Structure 1
Amino acid sequence: MTRDRIEWWAVFIGCALPLLALGWWAVTGDLGVNPIETIVRHLGDWALRLLVLTLALTPLRHLTRTARFIRYRRMMGLWAFAYACLHVLAYVVIDIGLHWPTFFGDLTKRPYIMVGMAAFVALIPLAATSTSGMIKRLGGKRWKRLHRLVYVAGALAAAHYVLMVKADILDPMIYITTLVVLYAVRLGRWQAGRSV
């Protein structure tokens, strides 16, 4: 097996491990005193973590002057979307038991759910257009323009986390600070490119 293939599998397994851990906790009864909250939170946490890591790959490429890790951006982005899907499904199916009046009530009365759903909706077109075929169909420029939605999704996901937390906002603030730095780097490079 080549080094590239080993690296690919290492990233894939690394992205899958939180899901496998959740499955293990479910089997062994280690989900804590509130299993539903543990499941929903764990999936949401990893959706946000992988989204932030995906956003960090382009600045990392510029910092290291190597494109080695950028090749995993699509995979990590799709894993982030998978965790976001499972997060929403866990809330809708396990937490509220497919009770749609509760869902629509939460959507209109709870800002963190409204913002979280907006983040999820922003990720859908990104996942749907992540294939090479879709890049060709849309054309490179239109595809890049559409995929700037990832910055909106990242900001909304972080805001969802901040609004959801009632007391200890340290973790959400770490994500927000990280995103601000990543967005500032991106904006700086974009402005530098325009001034050339």
Structure 2
Amino acid sequence: MEPQPRRRGRPAGARAGETPTRERILAAARSVFAERGYDKTSIRAIAKAAEVDPALVHHYFGAKEQVFEAAIEVSFAPALNIADLLAGGLEDIGERFARYFLGVWERPMTRAPLLAVVRSAVTNETAAAVLRGFVLRALVSRVVGELDVPDARLRAELAASQMVGVALLRYVVRIEPLASADVEEIVAYVGPTLQRYLTAGPAAGTH
């Protein structure tokens, strides 16, 4: 009697009635990526942390790159409600943008995964490509859709680059006094620059 083919939904190691959810595997992936970074994380390590067979990780996400992308999406979830940020119009959008971005980093639940994402992107091109594609698709494109100004995409990318730079120095490199500065103090300094990026006309001679 020929053996029956294994069903995709229940790889070896997953017992009936105890098949872990996608969210459980993703939570384990976020934890392992945060602890080890992209290069030192493997599908096997994620599966071990989630207490599942590695085949189940592949079943839900595919390759490590896809797991990393899903982890990024969960990490950035608080920042994806960009419509609420722009609902107040363009007046004072610079300060609101800075405050909103820093607020995501200040939350303990999101800071560790974000640190892992940024550190991995700095040292690994695959991780950088995943982060770049996600930021462009999920963040910059949403801001562009709300900005009724010339060069909206360039403006949104410049604003994002400003805040990513602040995040790198404040939370990753931890340069003082920026690392210990009050959030509202940073907003007061950075907000006008973001406002100019997002709403002001270009300097004379640039067009």
TM-score interval for Structure 1 and Structure 2 normalised by the shorter chain: 0.3 to 0.5
- More helix as a share of residues: 1
Provide TM-score, normalisation by structure 2.
0.32
Provide TM-score, normalisation by structure 1.
0.33
Which protein, 1 or 2, shows the higher relative CO under an 8 Å CA cutoff with sep ≥ 6?
A: 2
